[in-house]
A and B are shown apart, each in its own frame.
Chain A
Amino acid sequence: MPVDNRRIQGPEVSFPYCLFQQSDGRNKTNSNPSNLLTVRKDGRALLDHRKIYMKTGVVSQAKGSAYVELSNTKVICSVFDPREIPNRVEYSQHGELYCVLKYAPFSCKTRRAHQQDSEEKELSLNLKRALEPAVCRHEFPNFQVDIYVLVLENDGGCLAAAITCAGLALADAHVPMYDLVTAASLGVTGDTMVMDPIEEEERLCSQDVKEGQNHGLVTVALMGAHTQITQVWQTGSMTSTCVSDALSRLIQLCEETYPIAQRCLVKSVVNTISKKSTS
């Protein structure tokens, strides 16, 4: 591995301590996975979602910014002024979105590297695809809007939280948009559907595999006012009926989050106006 001399380096190899857990400790966390779903860790019913917290204008240096919290999942996003697309010779008719999603090194169970890995690249692409249809890209031809997302803590539903957060930040930055984008995720294992899964449940849904049974994760991003799905991302293995069932449930949840996001934006507008009138 090449040595990164721009950062302070620890020893060449180090392991997360969870790998050496005592055996009885390990049994406790992995004990009968189906148990995990009859009573969910946070006491929710299977189809309940978590409480969501949104706030705009959290980064003073950015044109627009937002912070979203799905109980323990914490995501922050900032959006900057459009700038000319670098290293591009030909004229592009549509503006571009440049999305970078990054996990903080301490955001997951095991430590993550400083460089962007392939999972982060994939999530960045999905984020870009989810936002593109909502932005009036013809309004800023040959320019790009930079969207940076940082996951501070990952407890499931990262992509969904990132999409909702980036949508709010774009609106907060006064980027012309057709509609707000909200997103939600769902896990499937066997015949059970788990709405808005936490990280442990996500792992269960993607790893607990039985022959001939459905399993996997679905994330959907929706433009609420136009009922248009801007992105759908599914992994695992499931029948098409199962996928469409999941879709309809997710659309419902996205529609539920939509007014919350709207209210959050209204609040920030009211705040700015009242601040201006007092100063």
Chain B
Amino acid sequence: MAAQYKTIHPVKYYRDFLAHELRPDGRSPEKTRSVTVNVNSICTADGSATVRIGNTTVVCGIKAELGKPRADEPERGFMVPNVELPPLCSRLFRPGPPSEEAQSMTCFVAKATEEMIDLKQLCVSADNLVWVLHIDMICLDYDGCVQDACVVALSAALRTVKLPSVEFDMETKTPTVDLGNRRLIDVKSSPVSTSFAVFDDEIILNDPTGEEESLSSAKLSVVTDGTTIFSVHKPGGSTLSESQLQDCLSLSRERANLINKMIKVAISSAH
């Protein structure tokens, strides 16, 4: 009976639950889902991480390649993050070029993680050769807060990348790579994104599922590392009061600390 009710009147179904301060999956509105972080799961990538937030799953793989730097920034390497939402992860997507949602998510993740590393450390020889980090985040299961999982996956994967040392011969203009001698990348900051959905213009749901996202009247994403706030992204929808926003910020800070601890544990247990 409940299943039919839910299909016919999804909004009412949620209202009934939320009247008792409860969500259909048993969480209270401000509770987040369980998170698992797994690193180095893919051997063909130079760095990789798999992140699950509830059902949502994102795999991030980093491939390092060598390329020529831009003429105006001869000492900076490249970070090329891309989010992919393949048709595999949800019925909402079809094969072909990235959907608008994937494009906007790519932008969000790229902006949130822009300052994580100093691109100058990716330089091999100024004006000649720099490292290019192709960072691909693929969503395997699309059940809400995919952008949060992407940021966590990227942050964890970046900490596992080991670049081999390269000698650049200025005369022959050819590099030699020593695979035995590798170094980690120095990662400066550790941003974590936390998303919220606004239901019926007033109830704020922390870490919404895909269903909750699609029923919500507004969305909000906060990127923070636990102390400083990097960005607050609220694309339109219903309005929020200042106190509500403050609540969200403090919830995000708590979660960022928790997740950064998890990433640390995952990486140290992998070594």
A and B touch in the complex (CB under 8 A): yes
Point out residues on A near B: beta carbons under 8 Å. Answer: 4, 6-11, 13-18, 20-22, 25, 58-62, 72, 74, 76-78, 80-81, 100, 102, 104-109, 111, 114, 116, 146, 148-150, 152-155
State which of B44, B66, B87, B140 has its C-beta within 8 Å of the C-beta of A14: B66
Q: A20-B175, A106-B44, A107-B42 are in contact. Are A10 and B67 (CB under 8 A)?
A: yes
Chain A, Cβ-Cβ closest to B60: A106
Residues of B near any A CB (own CB < 8 A): 42-45, 48, 55, 57, 59, 61-70, 78, 80-82, 84, 86-91, 95, 97-98, 103, 106, 110, 132, 134, 136, 138, 140-143, 164, 166, 174-180, 210
Residues from chain B with a CB closer than 8 A to the CB of A74 are 42
Chain B residues with CB under 8 Å of A7's CB are 82, 98, 103, 106
Given contacts A8-B110, A74-B42, contact A25 B179 (CB under 8 A): yes
Asked whether A106 and B61 contact (CB < 8 A) given A6-B98, A8-B110, A17-B166, the answer is yes
Knowing that A104-B138, A106-B42, A150-B88 are A-B contacts, what are 12 other residue pairs whose CB atoms are under 8 Å apart, sorted by A's residue number?
A7-B103, A8-B82, A13-B67, A17-B166, A22-B177, A59-B57, A59-B89, A61-B141, A61-B210, A100-B95, A148-B88, A153-B42
CB pair B98 A153 closer than 8 Å: no
On whether the beta carbons of B134 and A10 are closer than 8 Å, the reply is: yes
Please give me the 10 A-B residue pairs with the lowest Cβ-Cβ distance, nearest first: A106-B61, A14-B67, A14-B65, A106-B45, A148-B88, A60-B55, A10-B80, A11-B67, A61-B90, A14-B132
A8 touches B55 (CB 8 A): no
Q: Which residue of B lies closest to A148 (CB)?
A: B88
Cβ of B43: which chain A residues have Cβ within 8 Å of it? 72, 153, 155
CB <8 Å contact, B87 and A100: yes
CA distance A71 to B81 in the complex (A): 28
Q: Are A8 and B141 CB-contacts (below 8 A) given A20-B177, A106-B42?
A: no
Name which residue of chain B comes closest to A61, CB basis.
B90
Instruction: Report how far A102 CA is from B89 CA in the complex, Å.
Output: 13
The answer to whether A10 and B44 touch across the interface, beta carbons within 8 angstroms, is no
Neighbouring A residues of B210 by C-beta, 8 Å: 61
A22 to B90, CA, bound (A): 44
Contact B44 A59 (CB under 8 A): no
In the complex the two chains form, what is the Cα distance from A13 to B68 in whole Å? 7
- Residues of chain A contacted by B106 (CB below 8 angstroms): 7-8
Cβ A104 vs Cβ B177 within 8 A: no
> B215 → chain A, closest Cβ, in Å?
16
